Amino acid sequence: MDDRAKAAKALDARFGPTTVPWADHGVVDPALAARGVVRKFKPEPVAPNLLRTLCAAALCAPSKSDVQARDIIVVEDQALQAKIKALLTAGPLAQAWAADMPSLLVFCGNNRRQRLWHEWHGIPFANDHLDAFFNAAVEAGIVLSAFVIAAERAGLGTCPISAIRNHSTAISELLGLPQHVFPVAGLGVGWPAETPRVSFRLPLEVTVHTDRYSEVGLRENIAAYDARRQASQPFRNQKYVEDFGASPAYSWSQDKARQYGKPERANFGAFIRRKGFNLE
């Protein structure tokens, strides 16, 4: 099977049956089409120069107005890494797999440098509002995605860690983040000890729109997606059974509703304001 056929097969597996054929001119890397999260790693470390090179590749990603409002912190110190792992692997939202990740990176939004340039050049910072935070957060997310793609092309496995934000204040203190610099997400990196599963994605009819946003057929499409997930990738456990009960037809959409039916990171906005951002 050539690369084009492999890519088409992986896209079929991920998005489900489609009446529109995939482009056949090799536009999609089959490894990207079949990629998945890795949470089990071999014990071998990742060479620092490889991580540094991957950081450079990731930082080639687009930047809003060339401001470059994003940073990557590679946590090499084992004692520091152990403290962060202890936070991630404790409590009701524990990420137990994180205890064994060989490398940890934290992707940060950085609006500090922009403000310093205003001080250096004597020009008022006239955009002290929500957009300053938003731009930095989005840039950090773009760079994280670029790092994931570059790392997986090098044969590494990765897993993003949004739970970093469950401990924003502690992570900020451990990493010495100054005002206007904040953690967006962590990333576990290592040599994979398992083949990642190709997680299903919502059909393109739900998430790709032409000309105008549309919810035509949304409920039916979600129901079909729920059924497809339940048939091939059922959830091992139901979330918050003590609050919402056990469901005989537990689905992806119900799982996501339950996840966000409980408070999580309700103090993140207060943390960002303490970091000096005006979110108006």
Tell me what the mean pLDDT of segment 148-164 comes to: 96
DSSP letters, 111-137, are -HHHHHHHHHHT------SHHHHHHHH
Strand partners, 185: 107
Tell me which DSSP letter residue 41 carries: B
Q: Residue 248 — pLDDT band, cuts 50, 70, 90?
A: very high
Its pTM surpasses 0.75: yes
Tell me what the mean pLDDT of segment 192-220 comes to: 95
Listed by start position, the domains of the chain span 48-196, 197-262
d(CA 54, CA 58): 6
Please say if the pLDDT value at position 155 is more than 90.
Answer: yes
Crossing angle, helix 218-232 and helix 252-259, to 10 degrees? 100
**Phi-psi category of residue 219: left, alpha or beta, with phi > 0 → left and psi -120 to 50 → alpha:** alpha
253, 255, 261, 266 alpha-carbon torsion, rounded to 10°: -100
Tell me what the mean pLDDT of segment 208-232 comes to: 96
What are the Cα distances from residue 67, in Å, to 72, 76, 77, 139, 147? 15, 27, 29, 10, 19
Q: What percent of the chain has pLDDT over 70?
A: 99
Tell me what the mean pLDDT of segment 14-20 comes to: 81
Please say if the pLDDT value at position 25 is more than 70.
Answer: no
Mean of pLDDT over the chain? 94
Per-residue pLDDT of 256-276, as tens digits, reads 999 999 999 999 999 999 999
The per-residue pLDDT for 223 is 97
Please say if the pLDDT value at position 118 is more than 70.
Answer: yes
Q: Residue 29 — pLDDT band, cuts 50, 70, 90?
A: confident
Q: Residue 8 — pLDDT band, cuts 50, 70, 90?
A: confident
d(CA 144, CA 134): 15
Tell me what the mean pLDDT of segment 55-81 comes to: 98
Residues 34 and 57 sit within 8 Å (Cβ to Cβ)? no
Tell me what the mean pLDDT of segment 15-33 comes to: 80
The per-residue pLDDT for 21 is 80
Tell me what the mean pLDDT of segment 2-11 comes to: 86
User: What 3-state DSSP class applies to 49?
Assistant: helix
Please say if the pLDDT value at position 175 is more than 80.
Answer: yes
Tell me what the mean pLDDT of segment 39-46 comes to: 96
Tell me what the mean pLDDT of segment 16-41 comes to: 84
The per-residue pLDDT for 191 is 98
Give CATH for domain 48-196: 3.40.109.10
